[in-house]
């Protein structure tokens, strides 16, 4: 590094703002290792405690983006627009949204993540489709994008490598919850995709990074401002993650829900959020004059089976077994499936997404350690949702597990996460705010 690392860290510690040159030097030190682990941890903590100015956040983001390859899809004439969610439970929207937008003539180059903590990841869900691969060269990624309108890639060392080291250090140093660090982490990877625009789905509620609405709003504003400063179009929705999205939680089970949704059987909340985000993407792409027209276009493409066909094309290009579309049983199934029954009559008064997310991780559907293998088949399928009326003995959910013992333990945990009471509770609005 050109600068003395300890002096830069002390400057941030004392509340100073780092210059473009200083931040670029720090990121170079992250990548070439001249910034040691202790120094990186101290730097991250100083940012966590003192924050960053909007200019610093933008500079850090661009330096992290430029730490690896920045893709260019200029050979594709369509607008390149992506969506990113800050993470939730049961959130399989990307699997539907990418083919939906591709069907509408937008190119979607999607670099997605693996599951993180109790939240699922698109890459893990896709990995449950036999043969499907998200590991490919950047050149192949561009080809798939060109041929079917969307492509799904797992992050590799080539894309924003600075974020890899920074993220894993944050994970073990109590520095995940920082708006400038979350913003630069997310946007450095997204900007490297070579996109013209990005729609952010910023979650708030119990199963999201930001439990409180005002924190989520601050994150949303930071993401939108930083993305715009980096030269792409941005819009964002603030959406509810106080309850799971859809009915399935767990990788293959969520793919099963997506396959049914492509055939027209989609839980209302999943369809509503997918269309709401899709409308924002079409508007960013200038592919519709207004929100109503965008929604009508997307609805028609979905209902007419065009989206299913694009999904099939992508499966074929990324090595997936296309037969799953007609025979979803090819996804496989956990050996033990047990029902969770209502212990009394009344109404479902809560469906705690955090508790259910933890149950799925405990079943083996998520990771405790970065190198853990994920069991694609385990998870939970809800039969009842918030506010539904139930009678004693009704099945409120199914647990899919690899052992009978795990199934029974988890069934008990699911029962506790779905209390039944006398009052009918209604879910709050799914989309709380829009920033465009
Ligand atoms: N997702 C990321 O990629 N980075 C964060 O910091 C948080 C969520």
CATH number of the domain residue 105 falls in: 3.40.1030.10
Q: Quote the tokens at residue 20.
A: 């473009």
Residue 204 Cα to ligand 1 middle (Å):
15
Cross-strand partners of 346: 390
Cross-strand partners of 80: 107
Q: Quick one: 131 and 186 in the same domain?
A: yes
Q: Distance between CA 433 and CA 429 in Å, rounded? A: 10
pLDDT, position 114? 81
Q: Distance between CA 196 and CA 209 in Å, rounded? A: 26
pLDDT, position 224? 98
User: Does the pLDDT at position 155 exceed 90?
Assistant: no
Q: Given its phi and psi angles, is residue 346 left (phi above 0), alpha (psi -120 to 50 degrees) or beta?
A: left
User: Does the pLDDT at position 367 exceed 90?
Assistant: no
pLDDT, position 66? 98
Q: Mean pLDDT throughout 251-276? A: 98
pLDDT tens for each residue of 168-204:
899 888 898 899 999 999 999 999 999 999 999 999 9
CATH number of the structural domain spanning residue 351: 3.90.1170.30
pLDDT band at 120 (very low <50, low <70, confident <90, very high): confident
Residue 183 Cα to ligand 1 middle (Å):
7
The 3-state secondary structure of the chain, one letter per residue:
CCCCHHHHHHHHHCCCCCCHHHHHHHHHHHHHCCCCHHHHHHHHHHHHHHCCCHHHHHHHHHHHHCCCCCCCCCCCCCCEEEEEECCCCCCCHHHHHHHHHHHCCCEEEEECCCCECCECCHHHHHHCCCCCCCCCCHHHHHHHHHHHCEEEECCCCCCCHHHHHHHHHHHCCCCCCCHHHHHHHHHHHHHCCCCCEEEEEEEECCCCCECCHHHHHHHHHHHHHHHHHCCCEEEEEEEECCCCCCCEECHHHHHHHHHHHHCCCCCHHHHHHHHHHHHHHHHHCCCCCCHHHHHHHHHHHHHCCHHHHHHHHHHHHCCCCHHHHCCHHHHCCCCEEEEEECCCCEEECCCCHHHHHHHHHHHHHCCCCCCCCCCCCCEEEECCCCCCEECCCCEEEEEEECCHHHHHHHHHHHHHHCCEECCCCCCCCCEEEEEC
pLDDT band at 119 (very low <50, low <70, confident <90, very high): confident
Residue 189 Cα to ligand 1 middle (Å):
10
Residues framing ligand 1 (Cβ under 6 A): 86, 113, 167, 182, 185-186
pLDDT, position 125? 97
Q: Distance between CA 49 and CA 12 in Å, rounded? A: 9
Q: Quick one: 176 and 311 in the same domain?
A: yes
User: Does the pLDDT at position 14 exceed 80?
Assistant: yes
Which ligand 1 atom sits closest to the C-alpha of 86? 8
Q: Distance between CA 418 and CA 349 in Å, rounded? A: 7
pLDDT, position 330? 98
Q: Quick one: 112 and 222 in the same domain?
A: yes
Contact 224, 235 (CB under 8 A): yes
pLDDT band at 371 (very low <50, low <70, confident <90, very high): confident
Indicate whether 436 belongs to any domain.
no
Q: Comparing 22-31, 111-120, 361-370, which segment has the lowest mean pLDDT? A: 111-120
| Most ligand 1 atoms within 8 A of CB, residue of 61, 64, 65, 116 to mutate | 116
Indicate whether 57 belongs to any domain.
no
Indicate whether 60 belongs to any domain.
no
Pick from 325, 349, 365: which residue ends a domain? 325
Q: Which residue range is the domain that position 45 belongs to?
A: 5-51
Q: Quick one: 218 and 349 in the same domain?
A: no
Residue 391 Cα to ligand 1 middle (Å):
41
Residue 50 Cα to ligand 1 middle (Å):
19
Q: Quick one: 43 and 161 in the same domain?
A: no
Indicate whether 45 belongs to any domain.
yes
Q: Quick one: 320 and 341 in the same domain?
A: no
pLDDT tens for each residue of 266-315:
999 999 999 999 999 999 999 999 999 999 999 999 999 999 999 999 99
Report the relative pairing of strands 108-111 and 150-153 from DSSP bridges.
Answer: parallel
Residue 85 Cα to ligand 1 middle (Å):
10
Q: Please identify every residue annotated as catalytic.
A: 84, 163, 170, 185, 189
**Residue of 117, 125, 171 whose CA lies nearest to 357:** 117
Q: Quick one: 230 and 117 in the same domain?
A: yes
Angle between helices 251-262 and 306-317 (to 10 degrees): 140
The number of CA neighbours under 13 Å toward the Cβ of 269 is 22
pLDDT tens for each residue of 38-49:
999 999 999 999
Indicate whether 176 belongs to any domain.
yes
CATH number of the structural domain spanning residue 9: 1.20.970.10
Q: Quick one: 319 and 354 in the same domain?
A: no
Report the relative pairing of strands 336-341 and 248-249 from DSSP bridges.
Answer: unpaired
Q: What mean pLDDT, rounded, does the chain reach?
A: 96
Q: Mean pLDDT throughout 410-416? A: 98
Residue identifier of the C-alpha nearest atom 6 of ligand 1: 182
pLDDT band at 372 (very low <50, low <70, confident <90, very high): confident
pLDDT tens for each residue of 234-245:
999 999 999 999
| Most ligand 1 atoms within 8 A of CB, residue of 47, 120, 185 to mutate | 185
pLDDT, position 45? 98
Q: Mean pLDDT throughout 371-380? A: 93
Indicate whether 35 belongs to any domain.
yes
Q: Quick one: 240 and 347 in the same domain?
A: no
Q: Quote the tokens at residue 379.
A: 């998870």
Q: Quick one: 19 and 168 in the same domain?
A: no
Which ligand 1 atom sits closest to the C-alpha of 189? 3
Q: Comparing 157-166, 362-371, 426-435, which segment has the lowest mean pLDDT? A: 362-371
Based on the structure, what is the number of domains in the chain? 3
Residue identifier of the C-alpha nearest atom 5 of ligand 1: 182
**Quick one: what percent of the chain has pLDDT higher than 90?**
92
Residue identifier of the C-alpha nearest atom 1 of ligand 1: 186
Indicate whether 59 belongs to any domain.
no
Contact 381, 337 (CB under 8 A): no
Pick from 294, 325, 356: which residue ends a domain? 325
pLDDT, position 109? 97
Q: Quick one: 164 and 282 in the same domain?
A: yes
Residue identifier of the C-alpha nearest atom 2 of ligand 1: 186
User: Does the pLDDT at position 135 exceed 90?
Assistant: yes
Angle between helices 93-103 and 306-317 (to 10 degrees): 110
Residue identifier of the C-alpha nearest atom 7 of ligand 1: 182
Q: Quote the tokens at residue 238.
A: 């603030």
| Most ligand 1 atoms within 8 A of CB, residue of 84, 85, 113 to mutate | 113
User: Does the pLDDT at position 370 exceed 80?
Assistant: no
Q: Mean pLDDT throughout 120-124? A: 91
Q: Distance between CA 385 and CA 269 in Å, rounded? A: 11
Q: Mean pLDDT throughout 342-370? A: 94
Indicate whether 233 belongs to any domain.
yes
Residue 62 Cα to ligand 1 middle (Å):
15
pLDDT, position 172? 86
User: Does the pLDDT at position 147 exceed 90?
Assistant: yes
Cross-strand partners of 429: none
pLDDT, position 425? 94
User: Does the pLDDT at position 116 exceed 80?
Assistant: no
Q: Quick one: 301 and 178 in the same domain?
A: yes
- Count other Cβ atoms within 10 Å, centred on residue 281: 27
Residue 409 Cα to ligand 1 middle (Å):
31
| Most ligand 1 atoms within 8 A of CB, residue of 209, 215, 227 to mutate | 209
């Amino acid at each position: 590094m050109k600068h003395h690392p300890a002096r830069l860290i002390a400057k941030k510690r004392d509340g100073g703002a780092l210059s473009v040159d200083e931040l670029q030097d720090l990121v170079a030190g992250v990548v070439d290792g001249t910034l040691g682990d202790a120094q990186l941890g101290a730097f991250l903590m100083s940012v966590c405690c003192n924050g960053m100015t909007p200019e610093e956040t933008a500079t850090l983001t661009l330096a992290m983006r430029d730490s690896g390859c920045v893709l260019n899809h200029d050979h594709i004439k369509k607008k390149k627009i992506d969506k990113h969610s800050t993470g939730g439970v049961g959130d399989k929207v990307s699997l539907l949204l990418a083919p939906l937008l591709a069907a509408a003539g937008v190119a979607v180059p999607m670099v997605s993540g693996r599951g993180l903590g109790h939240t699922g990841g698109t890459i893990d869900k896709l990995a449950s489709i036999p043969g499907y691969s998200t590991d490919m060269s950047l050149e192949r990624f561009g080809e798939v994008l060109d041929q079917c309108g969307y492509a799904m890639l797992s992050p590799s060392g080539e894309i924003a490598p600075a974020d890899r080291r920074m993220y894993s250090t944050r994970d073990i140093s109590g520095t995940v919850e920082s708006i400038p660090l979350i913003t630069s982490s997310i946007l450095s990877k997204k900007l490297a995709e070579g996109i013209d625009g990005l729609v952010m789905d910023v979650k708030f509620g119990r199963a999201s990074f930001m439990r409180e609405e005002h924190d989520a709003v601050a994150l949303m504003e930071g993401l939108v401002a930083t993305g715009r400063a980096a030269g792409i179009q941005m819009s964002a929705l603030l959406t509810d993650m106080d309850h799971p999205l859809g009915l399935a939680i767990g990788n293959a089970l969520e793919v099963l829900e997506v396959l049914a949704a492509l055939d027209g059987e989609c839980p209302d909340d999943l369809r509503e959020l997918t269309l709401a985000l899709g409308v924002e993407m079409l508007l960013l792409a200038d592919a519709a004059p207004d929100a109503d027209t965008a929604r009508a276009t997307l609805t028609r493409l979905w209902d007419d089976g065009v989206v299913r066909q694009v999904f099939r094309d992508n499966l074929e290009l990324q090595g997936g077994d296309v037969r799953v579309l007609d025979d979803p049983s090819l996804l496989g199934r956990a050996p033990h499936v047990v029902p969770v029954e209502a212990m009394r009559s009344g109404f479902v008064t809560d469906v705690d997404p955090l508790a259910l997310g933890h149950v799925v991780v405990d079943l083996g559907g998520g990771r405790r350690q970065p190198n853990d293998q994920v069991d694609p088949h385990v998870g939970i399928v809800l039969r009842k949702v918030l506010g539904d009326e139930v009678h004693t003995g009704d099945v409120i959910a199914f647990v899919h597990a690899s052992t009978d013992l795990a199934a029974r333990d988890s069934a008990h945990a699911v029962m506790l996460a779905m209390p039944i009471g006398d009052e009918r509770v209604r879910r709050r609005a799914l989309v709380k705010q829009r920033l465009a």
